[in-house]
């Protein structure tokens, strides 16, 4: 359920509607979560109602509440706290707090980690390197196609679009496997779509190309996120493109900082995070980049959501498609304090 589609309670406003006054403190809502299949014609479409995709009583459902970036000075919830939950029982009584959690056997263990059994991944990793000497950014078509393409080298067919990496109706991703065997430093360039500025407590909310964009360094196997740069954090060079460097901290070039117009992401210290499984060892040279596009506008055609066939990413995204190259620390430092001038996007 997307925030802008939630109808606020009487006397309140939804701050995510285009043109809304974000600073209005009256922002109350009430959402009902019901059992059932949202695609079942027998389940009526009701305002502020979310079906949990279960088909039988007692079947487990997963509810994820996503907050991304609060205003500067606000806490993780945007200073509104977490939603309060009330469980309505068949006899008309209600439960809240820990009593409601106990009645639903609610838990918070992460689901779907890891993606694949350890022995399968170990065999794939030992026989094929998923990173490319020229880093390849691909739209996510699900785990099965990722293994076929990135771990077996067969990227030719037209797979169905299945979500992975916690993608959903609002979020889609590009990903790229990296490996330090090709170079100590990875340089990424591209354009960021138009984003509504909200970080500094702007009074009004105005839609743009995307709601949110980010580039994150991740451990592939454990799915742990090392660190991210999001849209309003990224410095845009005079040519209109960003320049972002990722490396191990000891290999960070001296000119990979904001003074030189360069963003920086540290390499994941556990590489692929394979040691999440007892007895398995990490590949510290590997890394996994993810680019997020969240809530594209209907008329923004260059979003990841508009890719349709594996391999069409560059033609759909145009200049918003990231490009990357490997370098040594010394090579990047030799570019000086305006490295973008030697890293033209169309020549990467």
Report domain extents, the chain.
118-347
Strand positions, DSSP E, 211-301: 212-218, 225-230, 242-247, 263-266, 286-294
The whole-number pLDDT of residue 54 equals 86
Once rounded to an integer, what is the mean pLDDT over residues 143-154? Answer: 91
pLDDT at 78 over 80: yes
pLDDT at 254 over 70: yes
Reported as a single tens digit per residue, the pLDDT across 258-277 is 999 999 999 999 999 999 99
The whole-number pLDDT of residue 169 equals 78
C-alpha–C-alpha distance, residues 96 and 85, integer Å: 6
- Residue 32: its H or E element: strand 32-34
C-alpha–C-alpha distance, residues 331 and 215, integer Å: 23
C-alpha–C-alpha distance, residues 211 and 228, integer Å: 16
Reported as a single tens digit per residue, the pLDDT across 297-337 is 999 999 999 999 999 999 999 999 999 999 999 999 999 99
DSSP string of 151-189? TT----S-------TT--SSEEEEEEEEEGGG-SEEEEE
Q: Is 222 in contact with 116 (CB distance < 8 Å)?
A: no
The residues, any chain, with a CB within 8 Å of residue 200's CB and separated by 6 or more, are 71, 72
The whole-number pLDDT of residue 113 equals 63
- What is the dihedral sign for C-alpha 20, 23, 29, 35? positive
Once rounded to an integer, what is the mean pLDDT over residues 155-163? Answer: 81
- Residue 48: its H or E element: none
The whole-number pLDDT of residue 73 equals 94
pLDDT at 221 over 90: yes
Residue 164 — pLDDT band, cuts 50, 70, 90?
low
Reported as a single tens digit per residue, the pLDDT across 222-234 is 989 999 999 999 9
C-alpha–C-alpha distance, residues 45 and 172, integer Å: 25
SS3 at position 329: helix
């Amino acid at each position: 359920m997307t925030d802008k589609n939630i109808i606020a309670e009487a006397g309140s406003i939804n701050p995510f509607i285009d043109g809304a006054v974000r600073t209005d403190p009256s922002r109350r809502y009430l959402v009902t979560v019901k059992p059932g299949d949202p695609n079942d014609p027998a389940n009526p479409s009701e305002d502020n109602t979310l079906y949990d995709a279960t088909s039988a009583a007692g079947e487990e459902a997963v509810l994820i509440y996503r907050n991304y970036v609060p205003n500067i000075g606000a806490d993780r919830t945007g200073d509104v706290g977490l939603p309060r939950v009330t469980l309505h029982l068949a006899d008309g009584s209600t439960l809240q707090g820990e009593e409601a959690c106990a009645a639903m056997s609610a838990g918070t263990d992460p689901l779907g980690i890891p993606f694949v059994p350890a022995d399968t991944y170990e065999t794939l990793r030992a026989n094929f390197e998923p990173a490319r000497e020229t880093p390849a950014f691909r739209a996510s078509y699900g785990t099965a196609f990722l293994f076929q393409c990135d771990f077996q080298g067969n990227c030719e067919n037209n797979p169905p679009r299945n979500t992975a990496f916690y993608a959903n109706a609002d979020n889609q991703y590009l990903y790229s496997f990296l490996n330090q065997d090709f170079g100590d430093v990875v340089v990424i360039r591209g354009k960021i779509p138009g984003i509504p500025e909200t970080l500094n407590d702007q009074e009004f909310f105005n839609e743009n190309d995307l709601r949110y964009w980010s580039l994150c360094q991740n451990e592939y196997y454990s799915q742990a996120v090392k660190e991210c740069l999001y849209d309003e954090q990224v410095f845009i060079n005079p040519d209109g493109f960003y320049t972002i460097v990722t490396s191990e901290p000891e290999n960070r070039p001296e000119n990979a900082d904001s003074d030189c117009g360069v963003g920086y992401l540290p390499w994941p210290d556990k590489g692929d995070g394979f040691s999440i499984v007892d007895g398995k060892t990490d590949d510290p040279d590997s890394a996994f980049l993810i680019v997020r596009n969240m809530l594209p506008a209907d008329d923004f055609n260059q979003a990841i959501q508009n890719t349709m066939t594996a391999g069409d990413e560059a033609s759909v995204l145009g200049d918003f498609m990231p490009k990357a190259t490997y370098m040594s620390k010394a090579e990047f430092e030799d570019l000086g304090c305006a490295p973008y001038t030697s890293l033209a996007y169309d020549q990467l």
